[in-house]
Amino acid sequence: MNSDDLYSRICRWDNLLLAWRKAAKGKRGTAPVAHFEYRLEDNLVQLGEELHSQTYCPGSYHSFYIHDPKRRLISAAPFRDRVVHHALCHVIEPLFERRFVTDSFANRVGKGNHRALDRAQHYARQFPYVLTLDLQQYFPSIDHALLRAVLARQIKDKNVLKLIDLILESGRGVLDGEYTMRWFSGDDLLAVERARGLPIGNLTSQFWANCYLDPFDHFVKRELRCPGYVRYVDDMLLFSNDKKELWLWKKEVMTRLADLRLTVHERSAQVRPVREGMPFLGFVVYPHKRRLKRRKEIAYARKLRKLLSEVETGNASPETVVASVNGWCNHVVHGNTVGLRRAVLRNILAFSRNPAINRAIEHALGPMVLKKKTP
C-alpha cells in the first residue's frame, strides 16, 4: 500500500459506508445512530467532504462512570466521530497489525481475552516461574507526544497524521481527573502540562493503546529474549525457567516502561511459581485449571440481584436478566466453574418470583449447568 494514498482511502465513500456499518453494529435502535441513519447518504457525503477539505472538527465527549467492578470513566464520542474513528482504523490498522507480536491479544481479529488465557496456561505448563505486571492508570497515562512518534514511524502521510492529531486533541483533558501526576527522570515543572490520556470508549483509543506498547513488546521478545510472554492491554506475563532472571527482567522492564512514562503496580509486580496460580484477566490461572477471581464472582452476584430487583419493579425485562446470565456463563465457562454456574443459577431460581425468568433460565441454561454431576 502506498502511504501517500492513505488519506484518500479514508475519505472514500465505500470506506465511510463500511465505517458506518461497523460503528452502528448492535446500536441501530439508539437515538444518535437512528438520527444519523435517517439521512445516511447526506451525512456520509458531508463527512467525506469535511475530511477531503480538512474542515472536519470532532465534537464533545459524553462521559459517565461504570463499575465493572472497578470504577471507570467511559467517554463516548458523538456518533459521526465514531464513524471517522472506524474509517481511520480500517485503513491504518494493517500497517501496524503485521508488526504486532503474536502474543499481544487485545482488540485484534482472531485474538481476545479467552485466547490470552489459553496462551497463559500453555506457558504455565512449560515454565515454572512467572512475572506478573499490571500498569497503573494506563489509558490516562498515555503520552500524546510519545504516541504520535510511535504512529509516525509507520504512517508517512501528513494528512493522516493531522487527522490523528485532531482526534488526540479532542480527547485532551478528558481523563485528567483520573490521572495522578508522576514524575520521571529529566522532568521539569512543565511536565505537568504534557498532553496525555486516551478516552476509554473510543475505537482509536483501543487500537492506539496497542500501538503505544508495541515497542515495549519487541523489547521483551528481542532484547530480553523472553521465551514466554503474554500481554492483554496493560496486563502482562513473563515466563522463565529461572526465578533470578525474572527479577532482573523486572528492573529492566520498569526502566523501559518509564521511557514511555508508565509505571507498574508494585504490589502485583511479583515473581511467583506458576503452581501457586497467577491472576490474569479475572481468573486465577494454574497449569491445569482456572478459577474465577472471588471478587468477580461477588461483583456479578451483586449485579444480578440488582437486575432481579429491577424486574420486580418493572424497570427491567426478564429478557435482560437472561441475556446477562447467558453472557456471564459464556465468559466464565472458560474456567473450571461448573459448580459456580450451577450455584448462581439455582440462586436465581430461589430468589426470583418471576415465572418468565425461571422458565427461561431452566430452558436456556438448565441443561448446561443445573444438572447434577454423575458419580
- The string of pLDDT tens digits covering residues 58-92 is 999 999 998 776 788 999 999 999 999 999 999 99
Q: For 106, which DSSP code?
A: T
Q: Is the per-residue pLDDT at 371 higher than 50?
A: no
Using the structure block, give the residue that is written with the C-alpha cell 512475572.
131
Identify whether the C-beta of residue 56 lies closer than 8 Å to the C-beta of residue 84.
Answer: yes
Would you call the peptide bond into 355 cis, given omega within 30 degrees of 0 as the criterion?
no
Strands (E), the chain: 62-67, 71-76, 129-134, 228-232, 235-240, 270-273, 278-280, 283-285, 290-292
Identify whether the C-beta of residue 20 lies closer than 8 Å to the C-beta of residue 32.
Answer: no
Using the structure block, give the residue that is written with the C-alpha cell 515497542.
215
Average pLDDT over residues 181-204: 93
- pLDDT digit string, tens, across residues 324-344: 888 888 888 888 888 888 777
Amino acid at 197: G
What's the mean per-residue pLDDT of the chain? 90
Please enumerate in sequence order all residues whose Cβ is within 8 A of that of 279, keeping only pairs 6 or more positions apart, or say none: 132, 268, 285, 293
Please enumerate in sequence order all residues whose Cβ is within 8 A of that of 199, keeping only pairs 6 or more positions apart, or say none: 61, 63, 75, 77, 139, 171, 174, 175, 205
Higher pLDDT, 180 or 313: 180
Average pLDDT over residues 208-233: 97
Average pLDDT over residues 250-270: 95
Cell readout for 159 is 494528512
Identify whether the C-beta of residue 315 lies closer than 8 Å to the C-beta of residue 336.
Answer: no
Measure CA 264 to chain center. 18
Identify whether the C-beta of residue 81 lies closer than 8 Å to the C-beta of residue 56.
Answer: no
* Residue 219 confidence class, pLDDT cut points 50, 70, 90: very high
Lowest mean pLDDT among 82-86, 169-173, 257-261: 169-173
Average pLDDT over residues 225-246: 97
* Residue 366 confidence class, pLDDT cut points 50, 70, 90: low
Average pLDDT over residues 240-246: 97
Return the percentage of the chain with pLDDT > 70, whole number. 93
Higher pLDDT, 246 or 373: 246
* Residue 370 confidence class, pLDDT cut points 50, 70, 90: very low
Identify whether the C-beta of residue 228 lies closer than 8 Å to the C-beta of residue 127.
Answer: yes
CA distance 156 to 167: 17
Position 362 scores a pLDDT of 66
Q: For 3, which DSSP code?
A: G
Cell readout for 111 is 485474538
- pLDDT digit string, tens, across residues 86-102: 999 999 999 999 999 99
Of the candidates 209, 9, 244, the residue with the CA atom closest to the CA atom of residue 131? 244
* Residue 311 confidence class, pLDDT cut points 50, 70, 90: confident
Of the candidates 274, 3, 229, the residue with the CA atom closest to the CA atom of residue 130? 274
Amino acid at 122: H
Average pLDDT over residues 268-275: 95
Average pLDDT over residues 144-164: 96
Return the percentage of the chain with pLDDT > 90, whole number. 70
Q: 255 in helix, strand or coil?
A: helix
Of the candidates 340, 334, 153, 134, the residue with the CA atom closest to the CA atom of residue 237? 134
Q: 284 in helix, strand or coil?
A: strand
Using the structure block, give the residue that is written with the C-alpha cell 503474554.
230
Q: Which long-range contacts (CB under 8 A, 24 or more apart) does 64-72 make?
A: 67/299, 68/299, 69/295, 69/296, 69/298, 69/299, 72/200
* Residue 194 confidence class, pLDDT cut points 50, 70, 90: very high
Residues in the chain: 375
163: number of CA atoms within 13 Å, CB side?
A: 27
- Degrees, nearest 5: CA angle 257-262-267: 90
